[in-house]
Amino acid sequence: RMPASVPEVDRRHRASAAFSLSFLSLVFSITAFGSSYWCEGTRKVAKPFCTGESKGDLCIRFNSPDANNNQAVQYIWETGDDKFVERKFHAGIWYSCEEMINEDGEKCRSFISLTPASDRGVLWLSIVAELLYVVLLLTGNILMSVEMCYYSSGIDGLKINAFSAVVTVLAGLLGMVAHMMYTTVFQMTVNLGPEDWRPHTWDYGWSYCLAWASFACCMAAAVTTINKYTKTILEFKHRRKKLERSLKIKYKFPDY
């Protein structure tokens, strides 16, 4: 068996790099899409009244037997931050969860139900775009794997390479639009969402960072695939010119 030429080895390396980046992007996007840590923060809520034998810093106990009257409630709001407790929360595309006071576990709600009615259409567009992003990434991965396994060289491999490049670029654009739309919807929900959900402090979480890392890997895969396609085309043209020159020299008749 003849050893592979340097250009062919280089094409295989580029194909492997593009496939690895695309597969990493797919894993990141699926993980981020299914998680609820796109945004994390805290909510400031009034401490509840202690009931029964419960005590500690997470509830308020009064010596008066009529502790739940209006004066006691007014006292909570007038004595400052020491009568409030911060509860951690995290939210994603599908649902939002927050800690429960004096209990273990979390209470979760659908994020779609928390979104203002005027912005739900944008949220649904974001969800559809995220789904299409995942589907296109999966399609690009399949095309790249087929090219690597069966059509590493030749015209068929070049056609698959071109199609996978187009699919990957389109996936990256959809992913970018989807992430930006969700960011806009979340910020609108923070300002106009239900009073019992609005966060006191918040920041983007690891899922949000993972989603943008997926976009970066997707675009890197697209650039690598396009670069491989362009370089292969240039190599074909160079080989064709060399072949034409050699044929001219071989079949050139002497002048009389």
pLDDT digits (tens, 9 = 90+) for 192-240: 888 888 888 899 999 999 999 999 999 999 998 888 877 777 666 666 6
Share of the chain above pLDDT 90, in %: 38
The pLDDT of residue 6 is 54
189 lies in which domain range? 8-35+116-237
| In-domain check, residue 89 | no
Query: Which of these, 110, 104, 113, lies nearest to 91 by C-alpha position?
Result: 110
| In-domain check, residue 194 | yes
| In-domain check, residue 132 | yes
Number of domains in the chain: 1
Residue 8 pLDDT greater than 80, yes or no: no
| In-domain check, residue 92 | no
| In-domain check, residue 157 | yes
| In-domain check, residue 192 | yes
| In-domain check, residue 15 | yes
Quote the CA–CA distance of 64 and 203 in Å, as a whole number.
Answer: 41
| In-domain check, residue 72 | no
pLDDT band at 3 (very low <50, low <70, confident <90, very high): very low
Q: Tell me the CATH number at 127.
A: 1.20.140.150
Indicate whether this model's pTM tops 0.85.
Answer: no
pLDDT digits (tens, 9 = 90+) for 30-40: 999 999 999 99
